[in-house]
Structure 1
C-alpha cells in the first residue's frame, strides 16, 4: 500500500495511551497533535519543558484528550530515572498502548577519521541507547495493552551506511537491528515493533544536515502523518519487524 495515501478513521486511536519522545517540535510535535486528534492520550516527552507546555495547551484547545508531560533527559537518564518514569505511567494510566521513538540528534557531518568521540557518545546515547532502554523498561506496561505498537525512527542512512554521516548513520542502522530483534524474539506477542523512515522533511535537523537545501521543497511533518497513524493504529496489526518509508 501507499502509506502516504492512508486515510485513518477519526477515532483510530481512541482511548490509547501513547508516549512520544522528542515531541517539542518537528515530526514529534506533528505526531503528538495528530495522535491526540485521533483520540489518543499523548504523553509528551522532550528536552525543553516550555515547548511541551505550548503543545499541551494547543492539544487541549483542539478539544482532544488531555495530554501529559514527562520530562526525561535521554542522554543521561539513570536506571532510577527510568524506574520513576515507569512508576509514574503505571500509576497514572495503568498501561501503555504505544511508543513513538522520535527523539534524535544529528551529531557531526564529518569523516569517521575525525569524528569527535564525545559527539559519538551523545548520538549513541540519544539515538540508540535511549530507545532500546526505554522500550525494555516499558515492556511490562505495553504488555498490559490489548495490542501495543512501538515505532522506531529510522533514516535513509539507516538502510545503507553513508559517508560523512558518522554516528547518526551507525545509530540508525543499529536501531533497525534493535527493531528486528525485538520483533523476532516476540517475548510479548501483543506488542509489535516497526521502523519508520520519514524521508526528506522540513525540520530543524534536516536544515542542519542540508544547509543549502530550500526547505520549501520538502514535505512538512504534517504531510507525512498518515504513515505514522498507520503504524500506531489497528490497521497495522499484522506488521512486525518491518521498516517503512513515510513518503511512499
Structure 2
C-alpha cells in the first residue's frame, strides 16, 4: 500500500474525470485523502469512483460544470455541512479554446476560456477559502501552463487565461502567508492528454510523459509538510520557480 500521508484529509479535485485531474484524484486517494471529485461527466466520475474504491479509498462524486457559480457555492456549503473544513483544493479543470489569431477569436470563445480557466478558479477560492482556513494545513494547487509566459502565436486566449490564473493564485498566496494555507501553481508541461492531442495532432504521444508520471507531485504539494507558497512547480525541469517581481 502506498504511503498514506494524507490519511483523513479532504480534497476537492476539479476536472477529475480524465487526464491530469483523474490521475491527481487517484494519487490523492491512494495517499489516504477522501476525494471530492468534480467533473461534468457522470459516467466518467463513476469509473473514477470504482478505481478509487478498488484501491481501498473513498470518494464523493459531484457532477458539476465549474462555470456554474451557484453550484460552486453549493459545493462549499455541502463541504461545510459534512466536514466543517477542506484540506486540499486542486483547481485543474481547463480548456484550450480555439487556436487562431487574436483578431479572429469570437467573444463567445474568449468568454468560455476565461470562464473555465480563470473565473471558475476565482469562484472556487471565494467559496472554499473559509474552509481551507479551518484546516490545520490548507493546500491549494492550481494547474497552469508554460503558455502563460511563452505567448505563442495563435494561443492567445489560453495563454492569457493561464497568465491571469498565475496572477490570481500568487495574489491569493500573498494574502494567506500568515495562515496555514499554502497556494501553489503547477506547470505540467507537455503530457499525453486529450488537450495536448488537440493542440498538437502531429505529435507522437509516445514521446510524452503521462498524467500518472505527474500525479505524485500533487501528493507532495498537498502534504501538510509542504511549506512553499506562491511559487510554480515546473514538472518538466523538476524545479520550483519563483516568479520575478517587476523592478
The reply to whether TM is greater than 0.5 is: yes
CA RMSD between the two structures: 1.3
- Deviations, residues 16-46 of structure 1 (Å, cap 9, x unaligned): 1000000010011111111101100000000
The list of structure 1 runs, each at least 4 consecutive aligned residues, that deviate by more than 3 angstroms after superposition, is none
TM-score, normalisation: structure 2: 0.92
What is the 5 A alignment of 1:148-227? 148-186=138-176, 189-227=179-217
Query: Partner of 1:36: helix, strand, or coil?
Result: helix
Match of 1:244 among 208, 233, 236: 233
Shift of 1:148: 0.6
Shift of 1:135: 1.0
Shift of 1:235: 3.5
Number of aligned pairs?
Answer: 236
The answer to whether 1:69 aligns with 2:58 is: no
Shift of 1:73: 1.5
Match of 2:115 among 117, 125, 129: 125
Shift of 1:81: 2.4
Query: Partner of 1:240: helix, strand, or coil?
Result: coil
In the alignment, the residues of structure 2 paired with residue 201 and residue 235 of structure 1 have an alpha-carbon distance, to the nearest angstrom, of: 27
Structure 1 residue ranges without an equivalent (≥5): 1-8
The answer to whether 1:105 aligns with 2:98 is: no
In the alignment, the residues of structure 2 paired with residue 41 and residue 167 of structure 1 have an alpha-carbon distance, to the nearest angstrom, of: 34
Structure 2 residue ranges without an equivalent (≥5): 239-247
